[in-house]
């Protein structure tokens, strides 16, 4: 089982992509921060089904972490990650250093409005600026035809789509379904922080959200259902709930019953913050 080519510099990445283009090959990309799990691998398989070559970036992006967040303890396991890329057949891993991505004097930021308003931004105001900046750089560096993002980070997916649309970045953004464990828990690198007792609590999150989404789709009052879901999360053992909210599925603006919606949530288990979301069917 041969592993992927490893590019640590932008120049090497561009040289490899240039050669693929010379051969007439299409290119897909999966941006990640490493600590790869089966959810990530599903994104890579989707990418490989859509293009001749797949690039996976592994870069823990410092600009999307606040000083109080878990940048230093975020799991890093590059050798294991490269083994997982080989399992799937990914052809190139882009593993730059922070100085390669943000050289001395770097002073540019990408700020996306619209779907970035509220939800995560209310609690992590720096986050989407960091995401938009690094993803726009990755797209300019790798020039992929398409890129695959997971729907677990649903607001992020909407922000990246809006950024590409507004800036005329010619990359098709594909949202892949959330991969869940046998109990329905959305796979996340931060799940590694949870002990057995916390995992049992975390696995109730999707059950609570699916129940609320079904009730809303059938006509229940969204405000009452989101408040009830927040209480249910706390009763299940979550230590704090940042939000449970209903939004229109495309713009993340206010939801109207005749349109498809999304129920999104963020909650804490001790020092670990988990997010999840489920679809709300349009009312007929």
Beta strands 27-32 and 53-58, pairing class: parallel
Tokens of 154: 């649903």
179 is in an annotated binding site: yes
Find the helix or strand (DSSP H, E) in which 201 lies.
helix 196-202
42 annotated ligand-binding residue: no
Q: Per the annotation, does 138 bind a ligand?
A: no
256 in a known ligand binding site: no
Name beta bridge partners: 279: 262
In the set 5, 40, 126, 183, the catalytic residue is: 40
Residue 37 labelled as part of a binding site? yes
**Alpha-carbon gap, residue 45 to 68, rounded angstroms:** 34
- The dihedrals phi and psi of 9, each to the nearest 5 degrees, come to -125, 155
Q: How far apart are the first and last CA of the chain?
A: 51
Does 5 count as an annotated binding residue?
A: no
151 annotated ligand binder: yes
Residue 35, annotated as binding a ligand: yes
Phi, psi angles (nearest 5°) of residue 82: -65, -35
**Is 204 annotated as a binding-site member?**
no
Does 38 belong to an annotated binding site? Answer: yes
d(CA 106, CA 126): 17
Q: Is 89 annotated as a binding residue?
A: no
- What is the residue-wise DSSP string for 56-123? EEE---GGGS-TTSSTTTS---HHHHHHHHHHHT--EEE---HHHHS-TT--------GGGSSTHHHH
Active-site residue, 40 included: yes
Residues in binding site for ATP: 33-40, 150-153, 179, 187-190
Catalytic (active-site) positions: 40
Residues in binding site: 33-40, 64, 150-153, 156, 179, 187-190
Residues in binding site for beta-alanine: 64
Residues in binding site for (R)-pantoate: 64, 156
């Amino acid at each position: 089982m041969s592993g992927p080519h490893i590019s640590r510099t932008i120049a090497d990445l561009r040289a490899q992509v240039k050669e693929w283009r010379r051969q007439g090959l299409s290119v897909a990309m999966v941006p990640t921060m490493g600590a790869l799990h089966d959810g990530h691998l599903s994104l890579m398989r989707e990418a490989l089904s859509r293009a001749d070559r797949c690039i996976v970036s592994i870069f823990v992006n410092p600009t999307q972490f606040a000083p109080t967040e878990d940048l230093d303890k975020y799991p890093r396991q590059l050798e294991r990650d490269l083994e997982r890329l080989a399992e799937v057949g990914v052809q190139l891993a882009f593993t730059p250093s922070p100085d390669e991505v943000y050289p001395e004097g770097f002073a540019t930021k990408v700020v996306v409005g619209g779907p970035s308003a509220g939800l995560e931004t209310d609690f992590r105001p720096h986050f989407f600026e960091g995401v938009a900046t690094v993803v726009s750089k990755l797209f300019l560096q790798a020039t992929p035809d398409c890129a695959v993002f997971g729907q677990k980070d649903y607001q992020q997916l909407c922000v990246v789509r809006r950024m590409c649309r507004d800036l005329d970045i010619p990359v098709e953004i594909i949202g892949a379904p959330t991969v869940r464990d046998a109990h329905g828990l959305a796979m996340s690198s931060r799940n590694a922080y949870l002990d057995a007792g916390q995992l049992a609590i975390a696995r109730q999150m999707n059950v609570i959200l699916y129940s609320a989404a079904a009730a809303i789709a059938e006509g229940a009052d969204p405000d009452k259902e989101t408040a009830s879901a927040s209480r249910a999360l706390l009763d299940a053992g979550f230590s704090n709930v940042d939000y449970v909210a209903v939004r229109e599925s495309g713009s993340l603006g206010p939801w109207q019953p005749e349109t498809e919606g999304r129920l999104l949530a963020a909650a804490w288990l001790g020092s670990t913050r988990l997010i999840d979301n489920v679809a709300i069917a349009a009312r007929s």
